[in-house]
Amino acid sequence: MAWLLRNTEPALRHGWHPVALATELGDAPLRVLLLGEAWVVVRLGGALAAFTDRCPHRFAPLSAGQVEDGELRCGYHGWRFGPDGVCTSIPALGPGVPPPRRARATPAWGVAERHGLLWIAPAPPVADLIDLPDAARPGFDVMWLPPAHSSACAGLLADNFLDTAHFPFVHAATIGAGEDTLVAPYRVAPDGAGFLVRLEQDVANPEDPLVATGEHPLVQRRWSTYAYQPPFMLRLRLEYPDAATTSTILFCLQPQGERATRIYTLLLRDDLGADPDRMAQAIAFEQAVLDEDLALQERFDLEGLPLPDPDSDPSSDPGSVSVRASVPEEVSIRADAAGVALRRTLAALVSRAGADGRGGDTAATPT
């Protein structure tokens, strides 16, 4: 038997999660949802801070407050908190009276701004933030898709991103046109807490302008390199040697709550020359691909990603998941190697978090 990894699984606290585009945070506190819990993200004195969205006084949402002199002031009774969450003043006590020791907002273990996203790690994470090397290379145009929302869980969406066997069927109108249905054997290589996958495939490349002129064939050789870091950080680099072009997709998921996932997609291309029209077309094409995926994923009758039962792994802690409802095991084939690796990595994260309560000895340092 297997069990379902839901968006509100407590062990997922041991990971970095995107919670907003950096441009969504202005001068006011920003309320975000993560793992079924509300958080507030705010800039205090030039530093990024994140707290559970609850004042310790009467549990009013801190996101209803405002920033004053580098501190967060609660909008209910005016209590003020510094970047570390310590309460610095309480108006009702009068000047000079120190706040109670327990008067502090609850901070996240870590908060960061990277790749144009704001990230929260509620507890010590098992993996560092994913790298994005092409962002620093000349010639790449950087484009955001609008953040998308899905009722599918983050685990299923991550699995879909790693799955190449569905291209000829789900993406017949876009990237799957004319693609061979055979997925040749490939290897999953460990990469820190995650893994890398490299494939060579013959696929349709309708965005190559020389296809329309007949100078290049529609179906071309493509080298695909997938990178995954737990829990839901993914990167895909696509190289087309015939067209001499490279594109990279950063795909990161925010498990907001049960049946609620926010999707962040960043597209980097080295073949557009900063042309606004071509960039708009690239965004529209990538959006069409994503829409095809979401249309199917949201029809799944699953509230989580099926993971292997830890009872079958002698190194895991079966007690950490014994209370979870079990589901039938999936049938996997060799084309599913990346998806199987995803499931094993997430199952190990859950088992490890349950065993030591901290996410393990390889916890990343806050940034």
Report the alpha-carbon distance of residue 128 to residue 229 in Å, rounded: 8
Dig out the tokens for 240 from the structure.
């087309």
Classify 25 in phi/psi space as left (phi over 0), alpha (psi -120 to 50) or beta: beta
Return the CATH number of 133-356, one of 3.30.420.40, 1.10.1060.10, 2.60.120.260, 3.90.380.10. Answer: 3.90.380.10
- At residue 42, does pLDDT exceed 60? yes
Rounded to an integer, the average pLDDT of 93-98 is 92
What lies within 8 Å, CB to CB, of 85 at 6+ separation is: 49, 51, 104, 105, 106, 107
Of 179-193, 224-238, 256-270, 299-313, minimum mean pLDDT range: 299-313
Q: What amino acid is encoded at 252 in this protein?
A: C
- For the chain, give every domain's residue range: 25-121, 133-356
Q: Which residues pair with 247 in a beta bridge?
A: 238, 269
Predicted pLDDT of residue 81: 97
The pTM of this model reads 0.91
Residue-wise over 34-54: b if at least 16 C-beta within 10 A, else e? bbeebbbbbbbeeebbbbbbb
Instruction: Give the tens place of pLDDT for each residue, 286-298.
Output: 999 999 999 999 9
Instruction: Indicate the average pLDDT of the chain.
Output: 90
Instruction: Give the tens place of pLDDT for each residue, 109-122.
Output: 999 999 999 999 99
What superfamily would CATH give domain 25-121? Rieske [2Fe-2S] iron-sulphur domain (2.102.10.10)
